[in-house]
């Protein structure tokens, strides 16, 4: 696989909501509609402006499926990073996993991300005034950009949105897994096995889902962590692709010092809440969290990149415990320039040959073949 070339080809072929056949890999991209039931079954909507964002409630999500399969009994769910506005980064990953494993690969958007957010949140023309306002308010912040200004403004306006988005996504994935397991999803047979490839904040979310295990739907799911999996307090999210410095400080202050006191309703202090709190800092629910990861050990693998400054290995070690982290997570480095947000650079001065050569032996191939072989073979 020529990673750079294939990335460009898939980006040009892929359109939200339009089914596509990929001749090169003989894979179909099929879209399915989803309507989130969180709006009606849980009291998480204190902010009415978020409740009326229709894109977040009803949307389409793509599934990569080998063309010869109308239905399948094996799937991999990819969970993406924070503040993603499109699927571009993940298309080559999804195609490769589908091709190598023969399993369907589901790309499901986190609440208020990708196509679950208004297009205006990604349009520079709509964001100019907010960008100027934040520059005047916060000074010259190198982390402020058109790419993160909408997310940054929303987080500063109401930090609880971070938890609400995750909470809704846990509910949505519970709904999705339930539909698939019950055999009512048109692409999957009943009792389909679903494993998880989780990147960045998606890894944080996946750990919370497996820890809380709503309706016992996630007990058999295996988890692969890529550039993620650490406790919240060891994440450094200020980045031109993620959030500006002011937003990061607001989130850090809120979740380290205020969040648990803000959630008053007993009905909200459930297993999902506790699982989230256990991932805020290393000392919270430490015994319960490390016992969980000990039980999960044989279902867990991952990669931490040495130059990852957003979600460094230390945070993963704090979350999993040193012994589990040392045995299940591999630290990896590349010869070319990369970062957390862009582990396989496409639009940069980096020599594309270096990226292509490495992309063939990292999580998309060698790591999956060798260390995550249970996903490929089971």
Q: How many CB atoms lie within 10 A of CB 256?
A: 14
What is the H or E stretch that residue 79 is in? Answer: strand 72-79
d(CA 26, CA 98): 10
Tokens 């929303």 locate to: 154
**Residues whose CB is less than 8 angstroms from the CB of residue 205 and which lie 6 or more positions away in sequence, other chains included:** 79, 110, 166, 169, 170, 198
Please tell me the predicted confidence (pLDDT) of residue 367: 46
Q: Kindly indicate the confidence band of residue 265, based on its pLDDT and cuts at 50, 70 and 90.
A: low
Judged against a pLDDT cut of 90, whether residue 160 lies above it is answered with: yes
Domains of the chain, by residue range, sit at 3-377
Q: Kindly indicate the confidence band of residue 374, based on its pLDDT and cuts at 50, 70 and 90.
A: very low
Judged against a pLDDT cut of 80, whether residue 369 lies above it is answered with: no
List pLDDT tens digits, range 278-334.
999 999 999 999 999 999 999 999 999 999 999 999 999 999 999 999 999 999 988
Judged against a pLDDT cut of 80, whether residue 62 lies above it is answered with: yes
List pLDDT tens digits, range 8-56.
999 999 999 999 999 999 999 999 999 998 765 555 556 667 888 999 9
d(CA 148, CA 122): 9
Please tell me the predicted confidence (pLDDT) of residue 233: 97
d(CA 214, CA 206): 12
Q: Kindly indicate the confidence band of residue 225, based on its pLDDT and cuts at 50, 70 and 90.
A: very high
List pLDDT tens digits, range 137-151.
998 899 999 999 999
Please tell me the predicted confidence (pLDDT) of residue 370: 40
List pLDDT tens digits, range 73-84.
999 999 999 999
DSSP-assigned letters across all residues of 201-239: HHHHHHHHHHHH-GGG-STT--EEEES----GGG---BB
Q: What is the mean pLDDT of residues 159-176?
A: 95
List pLDDT tens digits, range 227-256.
999 999 999 999 999 999 999 999 999 999
Percentage with pLDDT > 70 across the chain: 89
Q: How many CB atoms lie within 10 A of CB 32?
A: 17
Q: What is the mean pLDDT of residues 114-118?
A: 96
3-state secondary structure labels for all residues of 311-342: CCHHHHHHHHCHHHHHHHEEEECCCCCCCCCC
Judged against a pLDDT cut of 90, whether residue 349 lies above it is answered with: no
User: Which of 3.30.565.10, 3.40.50.1820, 3.40.50.720, 3.30.230.10 is the CATH number of 3-377?
Assistant: 3.40.50.1820
Please tell me the predicted confidence (pLDDT) of residue 345: 84
Please tell me the predicted confidence (pLDDT) of residue 44: 57
Please tell me the predicted confidence (pLDDT) of residue 2: 78
Please tell me the predicted confidence (pLDDT) of residue 268: 76
d(CA 85, CA 195): 24
Please tell me the predicted confidence (pLDDT) of residue 371: 36
- Compute CA distances 147 → 38, 85, 141, whole Å: 28, 9, 14
Mean residue pLDDT across the chain: 90
d(CA 101, CA 107): 16
Q: What is the mean pLDDT of residues 260-265?
A: 78
Q: What is the pTM of this model?
A: 0.92
Q: Kindly indicate the confidence band of residue 275, based on its pLDDT and cuts at 50, 70 and 90.
A: very high
As given in the structure block, the two tokens for residue 34 are 């989803």
Please tell me the predicted confidence (pLDDT) of residue 244: 97
Judged against a pLDDT cut of 50, whether residue 85 lies above it is answered with: yes
Q: What is the mean pLDDT of residues 211-218?
A: 97
Please tell me the predicted confidence (pLDDT) of residue 123: 92
List pLDDT tens digits, range 178-200.
999 999 999 999 999 999 999 99
- Compute CA distances 340 → 2, 236, 247, 308, whole Å: 21, 11, 18, 5
- Compute CA distances 345 → 5, 16, 201, 216, 338, whole Å: 12, 23, 19, 38, 6
**What's the distance, Cα to Cα, between the start and end of the chain in Å?**
24
């Amino acid at each position: 696989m020529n990673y750079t070339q294939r990335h460009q080809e898939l980006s040009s072929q892929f359109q939200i909501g339009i089914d596509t056949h990929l001749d090169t890999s003989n894979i179909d991209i099929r879209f399915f509609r989803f309507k989130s039931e969180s709006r009606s079954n849980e009291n998480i909507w204190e902010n009415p402006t978020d409740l009326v964002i229709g894109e977040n409630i009803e949307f389409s999500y793509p599934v990569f499926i080998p063309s010869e399969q109308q239905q399948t009994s094996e799937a991999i769910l990819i969970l993406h990073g924070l503040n993603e506005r499109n699927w571009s980064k993940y298309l080559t990953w999804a195609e490769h996993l589908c091709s190598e494993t023969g399993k369907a690969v589901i790309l499901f958007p986190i609440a208020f991300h990708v196509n679950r957010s208004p297009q205006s949140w990604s349009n520079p023309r709509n964001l100019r005034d907010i960008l100027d306002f934040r520059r005047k308010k916060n000074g010259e912040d190198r982390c402020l950009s058109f790419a993160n200004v909408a997310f940054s403004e929303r987080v500063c306006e109401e930090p609880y949105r971070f938890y609400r988005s995750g909470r809704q996504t846990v509910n949505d994935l519970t709904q999705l897994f339930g539909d698939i397991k019950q055999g009512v999803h048109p692409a999957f047979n009943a009792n389909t096995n679903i494993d998880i490839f989780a990147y960045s904040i998606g890894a944080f979310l996946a750990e919370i889902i497996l820890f809380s295990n709503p309706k016992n739907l996630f007990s058999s799911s295996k988890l692969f962590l890529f550039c993620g999996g650490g406790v919240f307090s060891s994440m450094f999210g200020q980045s031109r692709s993620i959030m500006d410095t002011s937003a990061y400080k607001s989130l850090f202050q809120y979740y380290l010092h205020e969040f648990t006191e803000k959630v008053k309703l007993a009905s909200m202090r459930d297993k999902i809440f506790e699982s989230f709190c256990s991932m805020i800092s290393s000392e919270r629910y430490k015994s319960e969290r490390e016992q969980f990861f000990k039980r999960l050990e044989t279902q867990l693998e991952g990669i931490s990149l040495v130059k990852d400054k957003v979600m460094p290995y230390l945070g993963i070690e704090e979350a999993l415990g040193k012994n589990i982290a040392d045995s299940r997570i591999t630290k990896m480095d590349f010869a070319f320039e990369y970062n957390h947000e862009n582990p396989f650079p496409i639009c940069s001065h980096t020599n594309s040959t270096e990226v292509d050569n490495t992309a063939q032996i990292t999580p998309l191939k060698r790591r999956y073949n060798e260390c995550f072989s249970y996903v490929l073979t089971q």
